Amino acid sequence: MISDKQHLCIGMALLCVLCTPLTARPELSKKDQDAANKMIAGTLYLRLDVPLKSVQGVWGIGPKAVLVVSPTGHDTARRLALPMNSKKERMNWEFFPNYAVRYGKLTFAEDFVDVSIEGVKPHNEEIAILFIDIETLDDYIKAFNQTFSRVPLQDEHPEWPAEVRKAIAVHKVVVGMTKEQAFDVVGTPLDIKTEIVNGVEVETWHPRQNMGQSLREWSDTGDELGATGFPVLLKFIGGKLQVIE
């Protein structure tokens, strides 16, 4: 049986817990924020495909981040799973790897950073990306390097065959590409199938075919963005692209 004294001790302990202020999650220092802003300046090139939601709000149409990047990885699943208001939001798949972007702006809040950046014509729409678990400048750098390159992706690899580098520069795939090289063109496939045929690994990709919709200004209807122009099927045999359909 608990004594009056024990009741008092328990009550005091609970009171201490309730009265203890919640500790805010860490935020980058002003110095680190300045360094992060310098990194986002100028023209950059996407390493990832960047889906987003076109959202119509009080001030007009703007982007809502779907791509989430942490220091250790990235995904779109958590935000694609969120319900979408069919009258006010449209999915936009217009931005793929190696697309140029510029005019980057950062908004810092606790341990995440909202990244806003604009594409270059003909894809000159605003993009939103969310960096999470950003507690230090090093965390930000890791997320940044997963997302952006300072040069076109083909220029990072002078050792790649000239025909492959030229194809990546114009967003095309060619026979002989590795999976990394093909990703630099088509981004994340709609699906991937892997099998072993005669002792050799065969991986089949189905790239995205449609770029989705954007919103019209002050309208609940969407504009179809059209086809991506990517092949419907890519087949890698032994790690190299052998079949394009």
Q: Tell whether 28 is covered by a domain.
A: yes
Q: Tell whether 98 is covered by a domain.
A: yes
Record the pTM.
0.85
pLDDT value of position 108? 97
Domains: count for the chain: 1
Report whether pLDDT(17) > 50.
no
Q: Tell whether 6 is covered by a domain.
A: no
> Range of 82's domain?
22-244
DSSP string covering the chain: ---HHHHHHHHHHHHHHHHSPPPPPP---HHHHHHHHHHH-S-EEESS-EEEEEEEETTEEEEEE--EEETTEEESHHHHTS---TTTEEEEEEE-TT-EEEEEEEEEETTEEEEEEEEPTTS--EEEEEE-S--SHHHHHHHHHHHEESS-GGGG-TTS-HHHHHHHHTT---TT-BHHHHHHHH-S-SEEEEEEETTEEEEEEE---B-BEEEPTT-SSEEE--B----S-EEEETTEEEEE-
Tens digit of pLDDT for each residue in 25-60? 568 999 999 999 999 999 999 999 999 988 877 677
Q: Tell whether 8 is covered by a domain.
A: no
Q: Tell whether 120 is covered by a domain.
A: yes
